[in-house]
Structure 1
């Protein structure tokens, strides 16, 4: 009976997403109809807080509202790729709380080693609790759903929730948008390019500048820090900006 109910809820969710997608793209061909055209890079605080309020309102009503709420809060703190949560773990090093992450793009020199670690000592007790809650929540799901299936379900639910929360607009945040916002926040916080790269698991210090949200999109300070040895492993590839010479008038 429970499986039958879950199947019906899944079918209803997919149908709702399809209807919302059709309504969103109607009359807006100039913006592109591909899924990527509707993905929002950053996730500014106003949108973030509005979505959190929507999710809190629907905890107990929507199956994955609490899960997505926990996922978003944790990712805003540490900037993981969605898939990297599968092998993330909390521990300590010399009495300092540490989050260890298996880098998702460690092949062909794209990542900064197989793993990266984040120093969590500057997080508040409440913020540390949000990370603990995320790790515990994922562990609790392991007996029922494999991680890939869970990530897909959460991504689908976020698609549904953002359409209902924000109404019709050109672009919507995704699970990955929180990582973009972390990058912007880290740049705004004064981290060097190498430090941003180390925190995000990039092998080169140019990746975050080329492919991720810019410093101007930052809206809050990042409290976590990279490990110094991992910062030193980052390859310096970014180029300093050289302004074009001014042309004489006339």
Structure 2
């Protein structure tokens, strides 16, 4: 009996955590501040929109987690209007079947590769350039991949990124997507683009301009969702049959690998990636061996100073030793 009860409590904890993470993700996508309430129906609609690209089992787990989280909020709400919003969102979510989810999802780690080598990158870019008139999202994907490959931003962060022209060069200002989850040291980070490599600034300008004039006047989150789905289909067409395929996020992984191969210090890499500590990119991103030396952005010294150095706190640990290999 105790084992069953223990499993139930652990399951509820897991549901509560995942439900909160889904809501934080939606808030970040729509640019809501840390104290701005998220409309519960918006979270439900977001989850439903993701169904075509996730497996049935992932859909069931996400649905159960978000439902659990919204039920907790409804039970604790003293605002009648808020309670009705939560109940309305719960009704929509409860009535949504798993029909439309994939037998095997496109966003699982089983088929997503960390990083995208130069050979695959060139194949993809060449295909997109040659087919801009044939595929609606080819240009969008091309400019997004190019800028992400060179700067390492999370795809969702491009919606609020902007450039500052300074006397000492061009700076890309990025709102950290993980700041609301306390997984980024600062609300914003600043990437100094190399003046010796104008291709970086040009790629960023091309993407930011394209986002402002995105096709159909879609909201940024919807634009990104459609471009991501196109990436899934295009990758299979371009790269042929294989076990793993790159996603847009893979190009962020590749940036991390290139930075490691270039000898970028761990705390600067964390600042470039928008992490709170120097451990995240080290253990959860592509390895140095997968990278190619040569990146053309540098982190703000203020951002670097704010990074928590977890690895240095335990120099004798296995993980700390692994970093030096």
Q: TM-score range by the shorter chain?
A: 0.7 to 0.9
Per-residue deviation, 1:241: 6.5
Q: Is 1:128 aligned with 2:196?
A: no
Taking the aligned partners of 2:249 and 2:211, their CA distance within structure 1 comes to 18
Instruction: Tell me which residue corresponds to 1:226.
Output: 299
Task: State which of 160, 171, 176 in structure 2 corresponds to 1:103.
Answer: 176
Please, what is the CA RMSD of the aligned residues? 2.2
Whether contact under 8 Å (1:122, 1:224) holds in the other structure is: no
Q: Which has the larger radius of gyration?
A: 2
Deviations 1:32-57 (A, max 9, x none): 95541101111110100011111112
Alignment CA distance shift 1:189-1:118 (3 Å): same
Deviations 1:12-44 (A, max 9, x none): xxxxx99xxxxxxxxxxxxx9554110111111
Instruction: Tell me which residue corresponds to 2:156.
Output: 83
Per-residue deviation, 1:242: 5.7
Taking the aligned partners of 2:215 and 2:232, their CA distance within structure 1 comes to 23
Deviations 1:202-235 (A, max 9, x none): 0000000111111111024111000011101000
Instruction: Tell me which residue corresponds to 2:219.
Output: 146
Alignment CA distance shift 1:145-1:234 (3 Å): same
Q: Secondary structure at the match of 1:90?
A: strand
Query: With structure 2 as the length reference, what TM-score do the two structures score?
Result: 0.63
Taking the aligned partners of 2:213 and 2:316, their CA distance within structure 1 comes to 48
Instruction: Tell me which residue corresponds to 2:187.
Output: 114
Whether contact under 8 Å (1:123, 1:224) holds in the other structure is: no
Taking the aligned partners of 2:317 and 2:283, their CA distance within structure 1 comes to 16
Q: Secondary structure at the match of 1:158?
A: helix
Alignment of 1:11-26 (within 5 A): none
Instruction: Tell me which residue corresponds to 2:123.
Output: 50
Q: Is 1:184 aligned with 2:249?
A: no
Per-residue deviation, 1:168: 0.9
Q: Is 1:194 aligned with 2:277?
A: no
Per-residue deviation, 1:108: 4.5
Q: Secondary structure at the match of 1:63?
A: coil
Instruction: Tell me which residue corresponds to 2:241.
Output: 168
Q: Which runs of 5+ in 2 are unaligned?
A: 1-52, 55-102, 319-325
Per-residue deviation, 1:66: 1.1
Per-residue deviation, 1:181: 0.3
Instruction: Tell me which residue corresponds to 1:137.
Output: 210
Alignment CA distance shift 1:60-1:202 (3 Å): same
Task: State which of 188, 206, 210 in structure 1 corresponds to 2:279.
Answer: 206
Query: With structure 1 as the length reference, what TM-score do the two structures score?
Result: 0.81
Higher relative CO (Cα under 8 Å, sequence separation at least 6) belongs to 1
Taking the aligned partners of 2:195 and 2:292, their CA distance within structure 1 comes to 18
Deviations 1:57-83 (A, max 9, x none): 211111111111111111111000010
Alignment CA distance shift 1:173-1:123 (3 Å): farther
Task: State which of 129, 138, 149 in structure 2 corresponds to 1:65.
Answer: 138
Q: Which runs of 5+ in 1 are unaligned?
A: 1-16, 19-31, 244-250
Q: Secondary structure at the match of 2:173?
A: strand
Q: Secondary structure at the match of 1:175?
A: coil
